[in-house]
Amino acid sequence: MTSSDRAGTAAAIFDVDGTIADTKSTTSLVWLRQHQHSPVRHALWLASLAWRIPLLWATHHLSHDSDAADRQVFRQFAGLSQRRTAVDARRCCEEVLLPACFPGALAEMAEHRAAGRRLVLLSAGVDVVLAPLAEALGAELLAQRLVVSGDRFTGAYCSHAALTDDEAAMGVAARKAAALARHAADTAIDLRASFVYGDSINDLAMLEMAGTPIVVRPDRRMARIAGERGWNIRRWDRQA
């Protein structure tokens, strides 16, 4: 189907972690490493998280540098096999990601699908991990990419494939919005007729692009912004 065939289509665009699923960026990473490493090696790596987790928290919450926090997480993929990870990611989706999805989010996605809207997952996570989830949900995927040398991840990552090098240098919030704008232009999504769902301040710029922005399980800051702007709020939980 060409862009002209889909001109003016509406979409429902969803952030992933904290929006459609009760997950963090480390959730799939821990599962994947466990399935590629010996029990002893995995236990040693888990023990090393005693100092890594406080560092990640401080980097994200005190410096407000989401890129630095992402780099810390994605660096932990270094050495994993790309081919093995692509296979394991399917099991991870079935055993970890899909069970963590909020029933309310899945129901709302089904309503959008029934209404003829395209589904898009837009995440600061990585494509090799999220591709099976997007496939399971019948959604397009905009995610970051891990750098590969041979069959091994290097620990470095690239931005969303839709972006140029200049755009990739922007902060997380601006980068997600730019990726959405580029994808919408390339595939004829009408953002003013679309819904965007997000949970954090990193989603604010892309929420502002939507005809219908919806804030999910917001913290106090995002709840205040949503209240001031009259945006809808969803408070989904794991209970059906």
Residue 6's pLDDT band (cuts 50, 70, 90): very low
pLDDT tens digits, 105-133: 999 999 999 999 999 999 988 899 999 99
What are the backbone angles phi and psi of residue 117, rounded to the nearest 5°?
-85, 145
pLDDT digits (tens, 9 = 90+) for 15-60: 999 999 998 877 787 787 777 766 666 565 555 555 555 555 444 4
Token readout for 74 is 């994605």
Pick 79 or 213 by higher pLDDT.
213
Instruction: Catalogue the long-range contacts made by 111-118 (C-beta closer than 8 Å, 24 or more residues apart).
Output: 112/12, 112/195, 113/138, 116/9, 116/10, 117/9, 117/10, 117/11, 117/12, 117/194, 117/195, 118/6, 118/9, 118/10, 118/11, 118/12, 118/189
Whole-number pLDDT of residue 239: 75
The size of the chain, in residues, is 240
Q: CA 27, CA 173: separation in Å to the nearest integer?
A: 21
Cα distance between residue 219 and residue 239, in whole Å = 20
Alpha-carbon distances of 154 from 166, 171, 222, 234, rounded to whole Å: 22, 22, 35, 38
Amino acid at 33: R
Minimal CA–CA distance to 97: which of 26, 167, 154?
A: 26
| Three-state DSSP state, 182 | helix
What is the C-alpha separation between 77 and 58, in angstroms, rounded? Answer: 21
Q: Supply the CATH classification number for the domain 4-234.
A: 3.40.50.1000
Tell whether the torsion through CA atoms of 130, 135, 138 and 144 is positive or negative: positive
Instruction: State yes or no: pLDDT of 220 exceeds 70.
Output: yes
Task: Assess contact for 215 and 200: CB atoms under 8 A.
Answer: no
**Burial annotation 161-181 (CB, 10 A radius, 16+ → b, else e):** ebbeeebbebebbebbbbbbb
Average pLDDT over residues 217-224: 93
Q: Where are the domains of the chain?
A: 4-234
What would the pLDDT profile of 160-208 be if each residue is shown by its tens digit?
876 766 665 677 888 899 999 999 999 999 999 999 999 999 899 999 9
pLDDT of residue 167: 60
